[in-house]
Amino acid sequence: ILMFPPNAQGRVNLTSADAARLKPEGLLNDSLIEFYLKLWLQDLKERAPDLAEQVHIFSPFFYKLLNKKEYGFRCVRRWTSKCDLFAKKYVVVPINESMHWYLAVIYEPEHVLLPPPTHPIPEDLSPMKGGPGEPASGGTRLSAIPDRTTYIFLMDSLGKNHTYTAGVLKRYLMAEATDKKGVNPTSQVQTKSLNVSVPTQPNLCDCGLYVLHFVDEFVCN
């Protein structure tokens, strides 16, 4: 019933079944998440083109393929053939596991290409806790983030900890640096994963909506 961007490569087609998921208590699927993020980025290009140029959004299918043990990086190696990922400031990775959406944002991946920083890096945060609609405890503020370090921010409206996911994305960045830049980043302190204090959902169906909101808030504010 709808496609975006129209007549363009990588367009997303929405069906009536997809639209039915927009009703109360509906669960957003891959198509709806990808459709909105493409529409959001297009709107950002019109409102703030310089900021939009710093953003790269992966399809919800990206992490699914990357996390396949038998293929891994080989599955997604060509996904950035026309994009220099290390020139972006924000790399958005929507993730669905066990019918639950959460978000990873890779912040300033360029630092993976540099020698390891000499400043101390905060420890990984413990699992987040918080009531419905309230920020989960245990997060950190962006103002406290030191320079020259690539961060993988994890945002989950159920307050879950995703250490494994952070490891998968960290290994991806290292493989991407080797493949696209000829750099072999072996230091364990060039990337850091952090749980962000985010509002928690009051039900079991709104996780997709929270992910879309997190993207806009993180990048624009």
Residues serving a catalytic function are: 100, 156, 207
For residues 92 and 37, the answer to whether their CB atoms sit within 8 Å is yes
- Would you state the structure tokens that stand for residue 1, as one six-digit string? 């019933």
SS3 category, 185: coil
User: Phi, psi (5° rounding) for residue 200?
Assistant: -100, 145
Q: Which residues contact 10 (CB under 8 A, 6 or more apart)?
A: 38
Query: How far is Cα 83 from Cα 61, in angstroms, rounded to an integer?
Result: 17
Q: For tokens 């993976």, name the residue.
A: 112
Element (H, E) at 62: helix 60-66
